[in-house]
A and B are shown apart, each in its own frame.
Chain A
């Protein structure tokens, strides 16, 4: 690496941090050591515990809610909230930016930290300081500009200016470049390197291994809430393969239903050159010229890291429920179809099981039977009147078939466990008789037993001749359930592999860069 490592003293030492949530050990005896003036990357799969660790550090999870100790600048610290960690010079910048769109750059930088006395803001001082801070982050915009008229890249810089105003000594960046294009990303990375030169240490969580390789001095890999290893980049022989091995190196358990690909038929669903724009940010494409196919009886996996654009692609196909479709065609059984809204998609026998069960999948005020029939009421209604007898019968059938654990289908869905709620959502979409079922992270947040049941349901559906698209962040799950896998990186489909060709390393490689498999091999 071209950056000389400053072997400064240790600025931060997190010792044996353990953080438990009901039923889950999110962090298990994690230790992390950051030297002054270094850029320390943290890598791991989604849900490995990276963000939890940073929340412990920044006081989002206050002292006392975890075990272990944090030593910062030589003294033990016990942060009780974000304010106390910021007072000590630790500033976290979240992936979801915490700026207020309707306020100006200046107002945002000083929000909660306004210069002045007695509650009266000294705007001229604020303005002068804002100009200075913006210069330090390389932003030339007028500080009176409203945040909403800035692109994401510039907003990210405003966040850093805000952090600098707080005399930041340790900057934590959670996926800072996830939403940025290449130019903006490079600018941000240069800025982080520049801050390093001025003595600011950084902890960076990122999925983009090339960026990590480019700027970090050391890398800590976390998996399943445990530290796997800490790599010293200056020591050499750290490359993407090495990081990937650390991230995914878990043993595949035998909890996936058997399938040999025998029932797979012809291609019946095809998407060509699908390009979708972000709903708010005009210059950002969430799907770029994506083309793929699904065969009858086939489970097709979509692998990609958080923010890669998998959900956006799926939702834009499902009746354009996300973003603006700029170009592209959908073919079903060889004929082009138009899906301008969700009901058109349902009419074409397409179903989408959302990633966010509670926000998008269910009305938590409903009972089980109402939820199950809600996406295709016409099926049990005559002239607009719902037949509640049939509703009950149908719901009860799904209760038995999917083994939804509840005394009756009159029970409210809010009383069910996550796994059973997910089964209700599955039943809701199975009720629409889908030919193409898109499952977005169908096993997120549910226990292992329910996961296996859901895998079985997926394979059974495929066996009836339906095509299934399985979007998942868990590579073992994709490798265990899918027949064929597409990898997606930054809105682009980067690779297509049959399950025999795929392994966690090859997938992770295509999920973290635009290089195709052949180049990488």
Chain B
């Protein structure tokens, strides 16, 4: 076993526990965020007298927050590359209004016999997703062009985009709400359909849970065999066992929750979409050249340029990708509410940005992970939900959310005082944008702690 070759000082104790979330330096920070999430869940579970972890509530949290989490996936890449996107809410609204108009039109032109209604719904839903992604990509190409090739700071481009696409939504939609056909609710509000014998659980969700357990075990096994093959120091075996064990327990618990909700509910479809996107983008950021280049540009664009990275392409990609995901998030949200209107997506950008920063990304770029941002988004989601369950009014909910964001990032800054990647340093340097020479050389070890590690060893 390779664990015997690991340096003695590294085996045992807290350090190994943090390795459960990735080897080496990445562990600690994500461990911290995850710890905060678990803590918040426990606190609300106690305060609400057990309502937080009721199946119905958990399902509700996923359905109500899927769109923010989808946005956070794109936003973390934008922020890691050293930019920001303020336009996501407006872009989603713009995509929504056009998508809904098109599906309403399709709904009238596609005529099918009564028995084929299901097929019709499937076709229209699929087309809606394609249109959403395509329109988002077009809008993203527009914004990416200004950021990457003209060199206008993303803050300005997307501030302009925020106005342009909000206005375009209201112009096209005449500032009146539009409703969608009922069957359109599948993407944003649907559940895994049930099948097989009725055993009191949702069979689809049980199957999903089983697949997840197999995947977790397989991934860990692959990682260990690969580490053994290259002779890298891997964590002791017990760490792997505990890690897989904890994850399996969590999955079983989640499966139980999702499969024992109200009759007719199970794991939500937007949740599945989210899981697919998280896996896909974790892979892109951790295991592909383009992912490496995003971190390189955000970490030190001078060095990246002198290493042959095509900076403009990377900037174009992250901006375009963000708007594309905003399109997806928009379609999911419309599908859930079965309507679109002039105020769709207001404030989304702030939720997504908050999720990314709570998730450990650095304001100056180069640091952040997809998983961390999802956990950050869940912290806000659980907080929101818990406070609502406690009947805290929305005004006070906003104050609390604001303070949580502030404190989360402040703790991060304090933990690496003197480094370059902090809010404070950022605001002390007026005009501190990409064009500047990198700030003070980071010295604290915590700096690099949120870099991606290979989460998908089967690359």
> Is A360 located at the chain interface by the 8 A CB criterion?
yes
A 365-395 binary contact with B (CB < 8 Å = 1; else 0):
1110010001111100100111111001100
Q: Beyond A363-B300, A381-B289, A388-B459, is A410–B25 a contact (Cβ under 8 Å)?
A: yes
A414 partner residues in chain B, CB cutoff 8 A: 441-443, 445, 447-448
Chain A, Cβ-Cβ closest to B364: A365
Closest CB in chain A relative to B104 CB, distance in Å: 39
B residues 156-208 near A (Cβ < 8 Å) are none
Task: Give Cα A392–Cα B230 distance, bound, in whole angstroms.
Answer: 8
Contact among A321, A375, A389 for B229, CB-based, below 8 A = A389
Number of A interface residues in the complex (CB < 8 A): 44
Residues from chain A with a CB closer than 8 A to the CB of B441 are: 358, 364, 414
Interface positions of A from 329 to 373, Cβ below 8 Å from B: 341-343, 345-346, 352, 354, 358-367, 370
Interface Cβ pair total, 8 Å cutoff: 123
**B343 interface residue (CB < 8 Å to A):** no
Most buried by A among B303, B366, B442: B303
Closest Cβ–Cβ distance, residue B293 to chain A (whole Å): 8
- Which of A321, A342, A360, A367 interacts with B451 by CB under 8 Å? A367
Q: Which residues of chain A (378-433) have a CB below 8 Å from chain B?
A: 378, 381, 384-389, 392-393, 396, 407-408, 410-412, 414-415, 428
Q: Distance (Å) between the CB of A100 and the closest chain B CB?
A: 12
- Among B293, B300, B438, the most chain A Cβ lie within 10 Å of the Cβ of B300
- What is the CB-to-nearest-CB distance from A95 to chain B, in angstroms, rounded to a whole number? 17
- B307 CB-CB contact with A under 8 Å: yes
Contact of A360 with B308 at beta-carbon distance under 8 Å, contacts A365-B367, A367-B25 already known: no
B277 to chain A, nearest CB (A): 18
Residue of chain B at shortest CB distance from A342: B308
CB distance from A435 to the nearest CB of B (A): 16
Q: Which residues of A contact B306 (CB under 8 A)?
A: 318, 321, 342, 352, 354, 360-361
Q: What 0/1 pattern do residues 299 to 336 of B give for CB contact below 8 A with A?
A: 11011111110100000000000000000000000000
- A343 to B445 Cα, complex, angstroms: 31
B454 CB-CB contact with A under 8 Å: yes
Q: Which residue of A lies closest to B233 (CB)?
A: A408
B415 CB within 8 Å of chain A: no
Residues of A within 8 A of B447 (CB): 364-365, 412, 414
* Residues on the A chain within 8 Å of B300, using CB: 359-360, 362-365
- Residues on B with beta carbons closer than 8 Å to the beta carbon of A365: 295, 299-300, 366-367, 421, 442, 447-448, 451
- Which residues of chain B are near A392, meaning CB under 8 Å? 230, 232
Can you name the residue of chain B whose Cβ is closest to the Cβ of A361?
B303
Our pick among B233, B366, B438, B448 for the contact of A412 (Cβ within 8 Å) is B448
- Asked if B226 and A389 sit within 8 Å, CB to CB, the answer is yes
The dominant DSSP class at the A interface is: mixed
Given known A377-B292, A385-B287, A415-B445, contact A363–B304 (CB-CB < 8 A): yes
Q: State in angstroms the CA–CA spacing of A366 and B303 once bound together.
A: 12
Query: Of A319, A345, A363, which contacts B299 at CB under 8 A?
Result: A363
Cross-chain contact B289 with A386 (CB below 8 angstroms): yes
Q: Which residues from A are CB-within-8-Å of B451? A: 365-367, 370
Task: State whether the Cβ of B435 lies closer than 8 Å to any Cβ in chain A.
Answer: no
B24 at the interface (CB under 8 A from A): yes
Flag whether B122 is at the interface (Cβ < 8 A). no
Q: Which residues of A contact B134 (CB under 8 A)?
A: none
Is residue B153 within 8 Å, beta carbon to beta carbon, of the partner chain? no
Chain A residue nearest to B444 (CB atoms) is A414
| Residues B264-309 near A (CB distance < 8 A) | 287-290, 292-293, 295-296, 299-300, 302-308
Give the chain A neighbours of B56 by CB distance below 8 A.
none
Does the CB pair B292–A374 fall under 8 Å? yes
Q: In the complex the two chains form, is A342's CB within 8 Å of B292's CB? A: no
Contact of B366 among A363, A378, A384 (CB under 8 A): A363
Does B11 sit within 8 A of A, measured CB to CB?
Answer: no
Q: Does B7 contact A (CB under 8 A)?
A: yes
* Residues A386 and B308 in contact in the complex (CB < 8 Å), given A364-B300, A365-B299, A367-B25: no
Q: How far is the CA of A387 from the CA of B286 in the complex (A)?
A: 11
Min CB gap A102→B, angstroms? 11
Least distance between B421 CB and chain A CB atoms (Å): 8
With a cutoff of 8 Å between Cβ atoms, the chain B residues found around residue A364 in the complex are 299-300, 438, 441-442, 447
Closest to B366 in A: A365
Q: From residue 428 to 452 of chain A, which have CB atoms closer than 8 A to chain B?
A: 428
> Looking across the interface, which residue of chain B has its beta carbon closest to that of A392?
B230
In Å, the complex CA distance between A484 and B454 comes to 46
Contact B303 A362 (CB under 8 A): yes
Question: What is the distance, in angstroms, from A338's C-beta to the closest C-beta of chain B?
Answer: 16
Also in contact, A408 and B232, with CB within 8 A (given A364-B447, A386-B289): yes
Closest residue of chain B to A354, judged by CB? B306
Given the complex, which residues of A lie within 8 Å of B292, measured CB to CB?
370, 374, 377, 386
Closest to A409 in B: B232
Minimum CB–CB distance for B26 against chain A, Å: 9
CB-contact partner of B290 in A321, A362, A384, under 8 A: A384
Q: Is B115 an interface residue (CB 8 A)?
A: no
Selected contact of A342 from candidates B229, B232, B305, B457, CB within 8 Å: B305
Tell me whether B116 is interfacial, beta carbon within 8 Å.
no
By the criterion CB–CB under 8 Å, are A386 and B459 in contact? Answer: yes
A388, B456: Cα distance in complex, Å = 10
List A contacts of B393 (CB < 8 A): none
Bound: A342/B305 CA distance, A: 7
| B437 at interface by CB-CB < 8 Å | yes
Q: Which of B23, B230, B293, B296 contacts A389 (CB 8 A)?
A: B230
Q: Closest Cβ of chain A: how far from B74's Cβ, in Å?
A: 19
Q: Is the CB of B288 within 8 A of A386?
A: yes
**Among B288, B293, B299, B454, which residue has its beta carbon within 8 angstroms of that of A366?**
B299
Complex contacts, A386 vs chain B, CB 8 Å: 287-289, 292, 459
Min CB distance B241 to A, Å, is 22
Q: Give CA–CA (A385, B289) in the complex, Å.
A: 6
Closest-CB distance, A366 to chain B (whole angstroms) = 7
Measured CA separation A402–B20 after assembly (Å):
32
The answer to whether A346 touches B303 (Cβ under 8 A) is no
Residue among B304, B307, B367 having the largest count of chain A Cβ atoms under 10 Å: B307
* Shortest CB distance A314–B (Å): 11
With known contacts A386-B288, A386-B459, A393–B442 Cβ distance under 8 A: no
Q: Measured between C-beta atoms, what is the minimum distance from A177 to chain B in Å?
A: 25
* CA distance in complex: A23, B335 (Å): 65
Chain A residues within 8 Å of B443, by CB: 414
A308→B454 CA distance, assembly (Å): 45
**B457, closest chain A residue (CB):** A388
Query: How far is it, in angstroms, between the C-alpha of A448 and the C-alpha of B355 when the chains are bound?
Result: 48
A392 to B438, CA, bound (A): 27
A46 to chain B, nearest CB (A): 21
B295's contact among A354, A363, A381, A393, by CB below 8 Å, is which? A363
Q: How far is the CA of A367 from the CA of B26 in the complex (A)?
A: 11
Among A321, A376, A396, contact of B305 (Cβ-Cβ < 8 Å): A321
Asked whether B287 lies within 8 Å of A360 as measured between CB atoms, the reply is no
Q: How far is the CA of A396 from the CA of B448 in the complex (A)?
A: 20
Least CB distance from B182 to A in Å reads 42
Which of chain B's residues has its CB closest to A376's CB?
B308
Complex CA distance for A345 and B305, rounded to whole angstroms: 12
Complex partner residue of A377 from B230, B289, B366, B445, CB under 8 angstroms: B289
Q: A359-B303, A367-B24, A392-B230 are in contact. List 15 more A-B contacts (CB 8 A).
A: A352-B306, A354-B306, A358-B441, A359-B438, A364-B300, A364-B438, A364-B447, A365-B295, A370-B292, A374-B296, A375-B308, A388-B459, A407-B7, A410-B24, A415-B445
Offer 11 A-B interface pairs, CB within 8 angstroms, sorted by A.
Answer: A341-B308, A358-B438, A359-B303, A360-B300, A363-B295, A363-B299, A365-B451, A374-B292, A377-B289, A386-B289, A408-B233
The 6 closest A-B pairs by CB, nearest first: A363-B299, A343-B308, A412-B448, A410-B24, A375-B307, A363-B300
Taking beta carbons and an 8 Å cutoff, which residues of A are in contact with B?
Answer: 318-319, 321, 341-343, 345-346, 352, 354, 358-367, 370, 374-378, 381, 384-389, 392-393, 396, 407-408, 410-412, 414-415, 428
